[in-house]
Amino acid sequence: MDLKFNKNEDHNKLLLSDLKKRLAKVKLGGGEKRIAKHHSKGKMTARERIDYLLDPKSKSIEIGAFAGDDMYKDYSGCPSGGVIVKIGYIKGKQCIVVANDATVKAGAWFPITGKKNLRAQEIAIENRLPIIYLVDSAGVFLPMQDEIFPDKEHFGRIFRNNAIMSGMGITQISAVMGSCVAGGAYLPIMSDEALIVDKTGSIFLAGSYLVKAAIGETIDNETLGGATTHCEISGVTDYKAKDDKDALDTIKNIVDKIGDFDKAGYNRIKALKPKENPEDIYGILPASRADQYDMNDIINRLVDNSEFEEYKAGYGQTIITGYARIEGWAVGIVANQRHIVKTKGAKTKPSEMQFGGVIYNDSADKATRFIANCNQKKIPLVFLQDVTGFMVGSKSEHGGIIKDGAKMVNAVSNSVVPKFTIIIGNSYGAGNYAMCGKAYDPRLIVAWPSAELAVMSGKSAAKVLLQIETASLKKKGETITKQKEEELFNKIKSRYDNQVSPYYAAARLWTDGVIDPLDTRTWISMGIEAANHAPIEKPFNLGVLQV
């Protein structure tokens, strides 16, 4: 191992350590005191409920662990968006579980809570996955009601999705394990089956105080909407559980009886571990996002037996395309090559070189054709992003880079096989789009701690913004010294770098999470397994292309 490898390894392992610390913090939800108070009521926390529900020692992945991270500071934050979402196995069946975290503002819905719940439902709909709701929520967070209540992608969309999923035959099971009030009361009752925990669960459109204020009736919450009321009088719920574990055991028994699903038929054989050591990734991936490396070295540590069948290896070399297997699943990989490559017949002239991480005309053309091939063969696509954007300048423009880029974006947009995106390094500008960013419906999209998402790098953006800022100050008659210019640059870059962070993106659900690179195979494998629940319903059609 050389010195550069060791320095890279140290840097990336520090990033991994930071990731683990951040995860440990968000997993505390509202904090240890609120967890203790929750336990004193005889209730399990949201994470404890999910852990008990999922099969022991089985794999699971958490969606949106960093949702809400460093947001809503005026309201003491909203760790994990106040709701925990995991894809895992119940009685051997893959399901998605959504659990309100009542240690965070009594499980109230912030804007990001609604967005995260909708993301969970989107995953269930796309993959025809059974979805389990563990309800314990005080309803909409009233100080921010204008950002969660009335719009198309707000709170009401949840119930619309309940109805849509019901019509699609997607199993929905709800357990009311705490408060379930106002509009939120519709969620469990629009599910296929609803459970309620005795004494701690309650469902009503308006609580006792509001009932007294509205119609003058005096009544306690338990009589108004407790387990006995809804299981024996109203018939709103189907099962009464004595405690949290009893409710979760009932869900396990229900899921155990669900019949098999129609499969999409993606190809899978026995899984093999990579021959090359996956831990080498920490030393291969450069500490600086500007440095070069060979993406093939990363691919060989992600795919089964380190076997990769490259497609058009000598053409369009700034994008790597080819076939492989991940945990036994056949995949088509589209990856950005990050070292400078020579064009055909080139010697050393800069004009005859192609820069790593940049999408050129030929690489866009190659990627388009490969994506079409994968759709033809029904092979899921995996995008490995480390992209600075499309090539600019007269040579590219005259060669039709916009046309070739549009073809690639068209292929990604119209792809009918499931897509999975891993942001390894840079994810800048239109490169994010062409390499299947969030706007292009990847089934799952995650970032490594080394990732950066933005229109351009912090340094480039700061230079542009500095020019605008200094021009404005000069117009006002201010003198800009070298020191003042440097201070402005550092201030702008610092602000922009914060927005480039993978945690900034994860907080806003632009990605489904920030993960250890060694967990990448699990995310892709579980993602394809989920996608296999949903047969392809339409043919691949690129539409109109300027060829």
DSSP labels, 383-425: EEEEE-EE--SHHHHHTTHHHHHHHHHHHHHH--S-EEEEEEE
How many CB atoms are closer than 10 A to CB 478?
11
- Residue 347: predicted pLDDT: 42
Beta-carbon contacts of residue 343 (< 8 Å; ≥ 6 apart): 352, 353, 354
Mean pLDDT (the chain, rounded): 91
Would you say 90 and 248 are in contact if contact means Cβ atoms under 8 Å apart?
no
At residue 322 the predicted structure's pLDDT band, cuts being 50, 70 and 90, is very high
- Residue 265: predicted pLDDT: 96
Cα 272 to Cα 88, 268, 276: the distances in Å are 22, 11, 12
pLDDT (tens digit, 9 = 90+) per residue, 77-136?
Answer: 999 999 999 999 999 999 999 999 999 999 999 999 999 999 999 999 999 999 999 999
- Residue 476: predicted pLDDT: 79
DSSP H/E element including 156: helix 156-168
Residue 12 has pLDDT above 70, yes or no: yes
Helices (H), 32-108: 32-40, 46-53
Residue 211 has pLDDT above 80, yes or no: yes
pLDDT (tens digit, 9 = 90+) per residue, 217-268?
Answer: 888 888 888 899 999 999 999 999 999 999 999 999 999 999 999 999 999 9
pLDDT (tens digit, 9 = 90+) per residue, 274-307?
Answer: 999 999 999 999 999 889 999 999 999 999 999 9
Measured between alpha carbons, how far is 5 from 326 in angstroms, rounded to an integer?
25
Tell me which DSSP letter residue 514 carries.
B
Helix (H, G, I), strand (E, B) or coil at 476: coil
Please give the average per-residue pLDDT across 337-345, as a whole number: 75
Measured between alpha carbons, how far is 429 from 389 in angstroms, rounded to an integer?
6
At residue 344 the predicted structure's pLDDT band, cuts being 50, 70 and 90, is low
Half-sphere exposure of 94 (CA within 13 A, CB side): 20
Residue 410 has pLDDT above 90, yes or no: yes
Would you say 130 and 167 are in contact if contact means Cβ atoms under 8 Å apart?
no
pLDDT more than 70, % of the chain: 96
Measured between alpha carbons, how far is 364 from 409 in angstroms, rounded to an integer?
9
* Nearest residue to 316 via CA among 285, 362, 358: 362
- Residue 545: predicted pLDDT: 67
pLDDT (tens digit, 9 = 90+) per residue, 445-482?
Answer: 999 999 999 877 767 777 777 788 777 777 877 777 78
Regarding beta strands 83-90 and 61-63, do their DSSP bridges make them parallel or antiparallel, or are they unpaired? antiparallel
- Residue 346: predicted pLDDT: 43
Instruction: Match 């105080």 to its residue by tokens.
Output: 209
Would you say 166 and 190 are in contact if contact means Cβ atoms under 8 Å apart?
yes
Regarding beta strands 83-90 and 93-100, do their DSSP bridges make them parallel or antiparallel, or are they unpaired? antiparallel
- Residue 183: predicted pLDDT: 64
pLDDT (tens digit, 9 = 90+) per residue, 31-62?
Answer: 999 999 999 999 999 999 999 999 999 999 99
Beta-carbon contacts of residue 506 (< 8 Å; ≥ 6 apart): 64, 65, 66, 67, 69, 447, 512, 513, 514
pLDDT (tens digit, 9 = 90+) per residue, 174-204?
Answer: 999 998 887 677 788 899 999 999 999 999 8
At residue 145 the predicted structure's pLDDT band, cuts being 50, 70 and 90, is confident
At residue 351 the predicted structure's pLDDT band, cuts being 50, 70 and 90, is low
Lowest-pLDDT range of 263-272, 303-312, 533-542? 533-542
pTM to 2 decimals?
0.93
- Residue 350: predicted pLDDT: 47
Token digits of residue 139: 């309803």
At residue 547 the predicted structure's pLDDT band, cuts being 50, 70 and 90, is low
At residue 353 the predicted structure's pLDDT band, cuts being 50, 70 and 90, is low
How many CB atoms are closer than 10 A to CB 475?
8
Would you say 102 and 178 are in contact if contact means Cβ atoms under 8 Å apart?
yes
